[in-house]
Amino acid sequence: MLTTSSPPTTFFTTSITLEFPVRAYVAPHASAIHASATSKVKRLVDILGALIGLVITALIAIPITIAVYLDDPGPILYSQVRCGLKGRPFKIWKFRSMVVDAEKLKHLVDNQAKGCIFKSKNDPRITKVGRFLRKTSLDEFPQFWNVLMGDMSLVGTRPPTVDEVLQYKTHHWKRLNVKPGMTGEWQVNGRSSVEDFEDIVRLDLRYQSKWSVRYDLGLIVKTIWVVLNKHGAC
């Protein structure tokens, strides 16, 4: 049975620990791992991008830490168990953009999305500073660490939560044949306006069919343009 527990919270981190049998998250109908997940060139791009990203993260960490704490005292970083390649669990990192213990308040927020995803345009749990961080995608910069560790890629699919994967149908598992990414088709195609999970799956599978290192680089450039123009931010 899926259970949740909240470990001790520190100034720097708060996390949601999800206890579950790892074997239950192996795709029920095995399919081949996508070529992007084993590409050495893609991995090299990930490492170089992650190192650059972590340098930037270090530069912005101090002002973000001050802003987050003054707006809503509590941990600066937030972590949560997500499902990666083939459903393998890993801990994702972000700058905290919601109130402390936001997960415990999730049941009070209406889900405006359809399918195996949770979205709320005016989620009251998001802090004032958090809205700015999300609009500029600054909250996601700590994920460069996940990329460096190999749990994520710069480009891939959106990393699903454990409770989302629990609802997956057979064809949904195909999106997990690639590593989750900091950006991807969904992010550059209006992530705030895509509210049907099946549309997200189609975008993920389109990425797999079009993938190449050059295509990844193109999506990274598009992501920068989207962020700078503040289109589609959640």
Q: Residue 153 has what pLDDT?
A: 98
Domain assignment present for 93: yes
Domain assignment present for 233: no
Domain assignment present for 133: yes
CA separation for the pair 201, 220 (Å, rounded): 20
Say how many C-beta atoms besides its own lie within 10 A of residue 106's C-beta: 14
Domain assignment present for 111: yes
CA separation for the pair 207, 37 (Å, rounded): 13
Cβ-proximal residues to 62 (8 Å cutoff; 6+ apart), any chain: none
Structure tokens at 194: 């895509």
Q: What is the pLDDT along the chain (234 residues), one digit of tens a residue?
A: 334 444 445 656 665 544 444 444 555 555 789 999 999 999 999 999 999 999 999 999 999 999 999 999 999 999 999 999 999 999 999 999 999 989 889 888 988 888 889 888 889 999 999 999 999 999 999 999 999 999 999 999 999 999 999 999 999 999 999 999 999 998 888 766 788 899 999 999 999 999 999 999 999 999 999 888 876 555
CA separation for the pair 19, 2 (Å, rounded): 6
For tokens 């994967």, the residue is 165
CA separation for the pair 145, 37 (Å, rounded): 17
According to DSSP, the β-strands at 13-19 and 77-83 are: parallel
Phi-psi domain of 115 (left: phi exceeds 0; alpha: psi -120 through 50; beta: other): left
Domain assignment present for 110: yes
Q: Residue 23 has what pLDDT?
A: 44
According to DSSP, the β-strands at 13-19 and 3-5 are: antiparallel
Count how many residues are written for the chain: 234
Q: Residue 191 has what pLDDT?
A: 67
Structure tokens at 77: 């970083």
State the residue range of the domain holding 31: 3-228
Domain assignment present for 234: no
Asked if residues 189 and 84 have their Cβ atoms less than 8 Å apart, the reply is: no
Domain assignment present for 109: yes
DSSP state at residue 57: H
Domain assignment present for 34: yes
Asked if residues 164 and 18 have their Cβ atoms less than 8 Å apart, the reply is: no
Q: Domain total for the chain? A: 1
Q: Residue 115 has what pLDDT?
A: 86
